A and B are shown apart, each in its own frame.
Chain A
Amino acid sequence: MARRPELGRLAQEAAALAGAVRGALGPRGGRALLVRPTGQALLTRDGRCLLEALSLEPPTARMMAACACSHRAATGDGAKTFVVLLAGLLAGLRAAAGGSGLRRALRAFEARVLERAVAQGLRGHLLSVLAGRQAEAGGLEALLEAYLGGRLGPGERRRLARLCCEYCRRCDPGAAAAVPRPRVLRLLGLRFAELHVAVAGLPVESSRVLPGIVLRRDFAAYCPAGGELRAVLVTEPLRPPLSAPGGEFAVGSEGQYGASQRWMARRTEDLMKRLRSGNVKLLLSSVKQEEVVIYYAKLHGVSVVECLSSEEVALIREITGVSPYAPFGDPAHGEIADAAAATFCQPLLLGSRRCAHIGFTGLRAIRPHCLVLCGPVDGVNEQHAAALQGAFTMLQQLFKTVDQREECKGEGESQNEASEACSWHPSAARQQLVIENISCNGDRVSESQLKAHRDETETQIVDPGLQGSENPAHVQTDLQIPSNPVSHVKEFSVATEGIGSSGDVQKPHAKGEQPSDVHESCKSDSLVGNQKNYSTAVFAARNPNAVTACERLDVGKDLEKTSCNIVLCKHEKSCVSIAQNYSNSLIEAGSVLPVGGYFEILLHYYIRYYAKQFQQSEVAVISNVVADALLSIPKSLYRTTEQKSFTKFHLKAVNALRKNQLLPMNEKGLESVYCKYQLVISVLHCATELLSIDLIIGIKRPLKKIEDYDSEDDF
């Protein structure tokens, strides 16, 4: 059993971690060669892999690394930056040597300074890749190049960024903006392992995009076929078994045995004939078929690919919409209805391996393409694939917004404290999570994401409480709304009520704001970040813009949409006036800033600016600490040799800000502001959590996990 961890020790641990990852940070960083116990070498610059490879001993350091990794899993970026910022923050806190009030001040800082700085300062500088000039003019390439700059070598990033752009464009030619639609991005991110093939021994230059998909195995039988063809997916052996598992086949005579053997052969042949007459020229099988099946397939001009992995089967089903064909299931022996259309199927020689290359036309939104990644060694290809997969996650974050949260003016310190008590109620937070999950969307939200966002949702609970106590009249109005989304929330409030926090804290969460109120809150200074609100029904009910966003992004469940729409009609009149004002969320979807420290310098400047009001309070101290910690990120990016150029750049930027001029732009790359903002929030929460630890208890047995988190986050 150890005493409460000292701030100094925490700062030391964080600094050591930061020192370990700093060499790989940013566009000038190098890569690490990780050698596994098996001798297998892995090249990486990924913060998560680095932190994992360190196999940390101290529990608090392990917690820091776990926080960084869960942030990385949720946003696809920023594990190394997380550690650097955390180290800066903890070092600053130690230097400030504040008392036990630090933790409280951190929360107050977030609510009262950070969000104000973002809303009133930073927001004016943001660019967008979803609308305006950046949308056409290579916005995607700029984003990708900056992202890959942090995880690939200097010689490869441009080539890979171009390749990834081409890939996105060809997979989603219908995308309105430069960035593919979220559902395409989600599929690409989820199935990237099956959508790319790696070839070692060739230069990176040889990487290319191919139409269709490539299955990493040769044809069991290949019959050249030109023109359009149909493909059938099977998941069971096509030769009828003589005796089923568990069954028994009694042989009465030699003739009977021979006849049944002949019958089985004929049955297989008939099936192939039937497939061929239905213009099915390709058989995709998830199981190994018997040689007889392959033989008859060859005789009748049907190509066969067998032993598909379950992921490959899932991918094929997703892009073509077919379900497996059961040959002996249909008694009619009629035509094959569920066949996928393909334009070609041919063998493809990749390196020294023969693969099956199939040109599915793709029924759904995505037009399937395959990325062939080449590199001198496998480790490079793995690094490239991981980076591209991360890029798809990162791009998905572009469509998320951080919204303003209403808070009333003149709220005092006492309220803040009450909120703290509430937000640290773990079960309350969990309840909120469940609801988010239900009302969120049909898409899969990995649990890791939920875990990472837990802290945000916690704060969200606090908010309505304050709201409720101030405006009881509004609570009344929303109770009258008889729509579905509200019922979710009611359930939630019932569930949490029993826990002990006062009932009226949760209730007003179901609210249909009156326009004047929202209007007012937009003017008001206090803002609270509530990410993902576009998908929560409650918010949708209040805000028509959020509903349209929801539709545009294709993530809402149909049911949910309709229910939202009902509410929408009701409030149509009252909402008109809000529309313009409220569309300015804290951070809009598609917001980006140039890379190279712009975000940090801007935020640093505005935090300092807004912290001036809190003279000599702890909030002011924290503000200065956070602001300075933010600058440690660009400082690390510029490295020691170029420290001077950073100081110059910083001075220039600050001068421009003071004079209200445009910032000097000399970087082409862009980065998502949403990810950056989430990073700051996550670091603040991690620091708060670290500071809240009272006692470290060593136990003998491994900890049992209460919840089944995504294995990716396990440490």
Chain B
Amino acid sequence: MSRLEAKKPPLFISEPLMRNTVSQSLSLLSGILKSCYGPAGRLKHLHNGGGGYVCTTSQSSAILGHLSVSHPVLRVLMASVQNHISRFSDCGLFTAILCCSLIENFKSLNVASCTVIKISKHLLSLCMDYLKSEACGCRVSVDFGSVETLLCLVRSMLTSKPACMLNKPEVDHLTLLILKAFMFTVPCCVETNAVLGKCVIVPVKGRRVVDSTVLPGLLIETPEIQSAKPLTVKRTCSNMIKIALFSVSMSGDLFNPEEGTITVHHGISLEMSELNQLLNVGKQLVNDEVGLVVCQKVIHPSLKRYLKENHVITVDRAGLSLMEPMSRMTGSKPIASIHSLSPSCYGSLKDVCIESFASKHFVHLIPNDTVVCSLILCNRNETAWDELKRICETAEHVLQLTIKEPLALLGGGCTETHLASYIRHKSYSLSTSSFKELDCSQTQYQLVADGFCRSLESVACSLNHDDGEILTDTFYGHCWFVPSGFPSVSNWSDVVSKCGCGINGNTENLNWRLLQGQFGCPIAQGCPKEPSVKVADFLTLDCFAAKCNGLQVALETANLILDLSYVIEDQN
């Protein structure tokens, strides 16, 4: 080290939330995220000013991953949301927006932070108990016997990301593909410990979205194979193709990981010996009637030629990522030794053929039991494709979460407003003993509950990016959007047609009120009712597990940040 700098004293900030810098950065972040939310969300263009990769997106995972914030308090918030995304993939924006508005709302209350934390924890437990109870009015159960609800779930996800640039037929096409791909990964025969298969996304850029397709089995890209020639594959007596999967290199190169030395006498070629061994393996493969040899690494050209002469197809350089699904799909065990081949390692395939997409050639391995499938995903340009890929992965993850817990929440802001009106109702009917247990007064509880409800409602409000009004009804507690351009009229039933999630129509007089800017909120509110008709097409649905976790994580993170009394920053 050429120069030693004097050690700087650490920066000590007490009561960081009271500082202006934090509030400003928080509201900026909150503004950015709110403007991305929902199907009408505005896109963000991320670039580094130095050229190169540009990202157009409205997804939380992409934005939070690229955004760098200076303030440590915000870093905690972002880390928390990113951790949520890495577990659940979905509802990242919901979590982040809710967390920001919880902090803003709670901070403005004149209540000690530890009381706020205790009360909000209690409110959260009320919410979670309600969401998990049968009586919950904002969730629907997902029936895997019919595709309707599943299609709604996937479609809601696709439409909520405008950066994919999809039109309606494209959305419908992709919704079907994603669901089909997911169905492929569900094993046919269910044992006690069923494990879902895998959907491998194969990128094809520069084609139309409707060219996307899903195929059972795996695609391995092989530039050498010409599509013109049809494949002739050796089959066993039961009309199956025997496959041998090698994880060891078959290049014939010597490698010696040991520490000792090896002395080779003059005239002896170890490479020759290795190659002979490889050819022995080849002979055994041919004798065992193997029809296809796939190697993770490189196969020696002589061995390749030998196998080809004996009508065995060889595919090498398959790569590590394909080994696990390939082993799962074919039932073969990756062979790691060229010195002993056990016949129990071989797997079987139904068919092998050549597929071409755009200018790429693939060997298509078709299995008997399809737990692995390939989704060939096309989009016009690179950024739109990236966005689409992220949303496909999210959708697959959401479907996996849904199969574990077959429930979905109403989307379009309805869950948020419904929960808020449930909490308002509950907070008025709480017994005095609960206040004593929480060590707070009823007024304090009301204040915090109100702040909590307003935060939930502000998430619903951020779905609206135009200047139209947002309403909620006092009967179902759902969220209603008034198209922009309508003046504030007293009779709202003339201007609204359907609630945010699409489950309730404008059939009854539901007694609407404005969601934003109400200070004198209704005093005694009835418990919000469950919608009478549960099955409807074109509902907007959200993932139950992801949203529940998002709600919990948002509140815990907000509490964590409210609880901070110092920031000590080492400046060295």
CB-based contact B257/A290 at 8 Å? yes
Q: Note all chain A residues with C-beta closer than 8 A to B263.
A: 248-251
Chain B residues near A257 (CB-CB < 8 A):
268, 270, 273
Q: Does B7 contact A (CB under 8 A)?
A: yes
Q: How far is the CA of A39 from the CA of B83 in the complex (A)?
A: 17
Query: Contacts A33-B16, A33-B72, A262-B339 known; A251 to B265 CB distance under 8 Å?
Result: yes
A466 to B261, CA, bound (A): 73
A13 touches B (CB below 8 Å): no
Q: Tell me, in angstroms, the Cα distance from A35 to B262 when the chains sit together.
A: 52
Contact B557 A35 (CB under 8 A): no
Cβ 8 A contact of B559, one of A27, A155, A248: A155
**Are A251 and B268 neighbours in the complex by a CB distance under 8 Å?**
yes
CB of A387 to closest CB in B, whole Å: 14
**How many angstroms from the CA of A31 to the CA of B117 in the assembled complex?**
13
B557 to A377, Cβ gap below 8 A?
Answer: yes
A contacts with B, residue count (CB < 8 A): 72
Looking at the assembled complex, report how far the CB atom of B114 sits from the nearest CB atom of chain A, in whole angstroms: 4
A57 at interface (Cβ–Cβ under 8 A)? yes
User: Are B344's CB and A29's CB within 8 A?
Assistant: no
Highest count of chain A CB atoms <10 Å: which of B113, B261, B276:
B261
Least Cβ distance of B537 to chain A in Å? 34
Alpha-carbon gap, A379 to B257, bound state (A)? 40
Q: Is B401 in contact with chain A by the CB < 8 A criterion?
A: no
Contacts of A53 in B (CB 8 A): 10, 568, 570
Nearest chain A CB to B549's CB is how many angstroms away? 7
Give the distance in Å from the alpha carbon of A230 to the alpha carbon of B324 in the complex: 27
Contact residue among A39, A155, A246 (Cβ-Cβ distance under 8 Å from B556): A155
Shortest CB distance A154–B (Å): 4
Q: How far is the CA of A140 from the CA of B128 in the complex (A)?
A: 29
Instruction: Return the CB mask of A340-357 against B: 1 if under 8 Å, else 0.
Output: 000000000001100000
Question: Is A93 an interface residue, CB under 8 A from the partner?
Answer: no
Render A359-383 as a binary contact track against B, CB cut-off 8 A, 1 for contact: 0000000000000000111111000
Binds A, one of B25-33, B328-336, B504-512, B527-535: B328-336
CB contacts under 8 Å to B, within A245-300, are 245-255, 257-258, 261-262, 264-266, 269, 290-292, 294-296, 298-299
Asked if B272 CB lies within 8 Å of chain A CBs, one says yes
Contact status B262-A246, CB under 8 Å: no
CB-based contact A241/B260 at 8 Å? yes
In chain B between 520 and 572, which residues have their CB closer than 8 angstroms to a CB of chain A?
549, 552-553, 556-557, 559-560, 563-572
> Chain A nearest CB: distance from B253 CB in Å?
14
Select one of B10, B79, B552, B569 contacting A203, CB under 8 A. B552
- Nearest to A203 among chain B residues (CB) is B552
Q: In this assembly, does A43 line the interface, its C-beta being within 8 Å of a C-beta of chain B? A: yes
Let me know if B247 is at the binding interface, CB within 8 A.
yes
Chain B residues whose C-beta falls within 8 Å of the C-beta of A696 in the assembled complex = none
Which residues of chain A (561-577) have a CB below 8 Å from chain B? none
A254 — which chain B residues lie within 8 A by C-beta? 268-270, 272-273, 276
Report Cα–Cα, A546/B563, bound state, in Å.
46
Given contacts A154-B114, A251-B262, A254-B268, contact A292 B556 (CB under 8 A): no
Question: Given the complex of chains A and B, what is the CA–CA distance between A527 and B345 in angstroms?
Answer: 78
Contacts of A376 in B (CB 8 A): 80, 83-84, 553, 556-557, 560
Query: What are the residues of chain B within 8 A of A36 when measuring CB–CB?
Result: 570
Which one of A205, A242, A249, A265 lies within 8 Å of B339 (CB-CB)? A265
State whether the Cβ of A28 lies closer than 8 Å to any Cβ in chain B: yes
Q: How far is the CB of A13 from chain B (nearest CB, A)?
A: 15
Which residue on chain B has the smallest CB distance to residue A43? Answer: B560
Contacts of B207 in A (CB 8 A): none
Q: List 14 A-B contacts (CB under 8 A).
A: A30-B564, A43-B76, A154-B118, A154-B563, A155-B118, A203-B552, A203-B556, A241-B258, A246-B260, A249-B262, A251-B263, A254-B276, A257-B273, A375-B556
List residues of B whose CB falls within 8 A of some A CB.
7, 9-10, 12, 14, 16, 72-73, 75-76, 79-80, 83-88, 112-114, 117-118, 120-121, 128, 193, 247-248, 256-265, 268-270, 272-273, 276-277, 333-337, 339-340, 342, 344-345, 549, 552-553, 556-557, 559-560, 563-572
> Contacts A55-B9, A155-B117, A380-B560 given; 12 further ones with Cβ under 8 A?
A20-B12, A31-B563, A32-B565, A241-B258, A242-B256, A242-B262, A250-B265, A254-B268, A254-B270, A258-B273, A261-B339, A295-B333
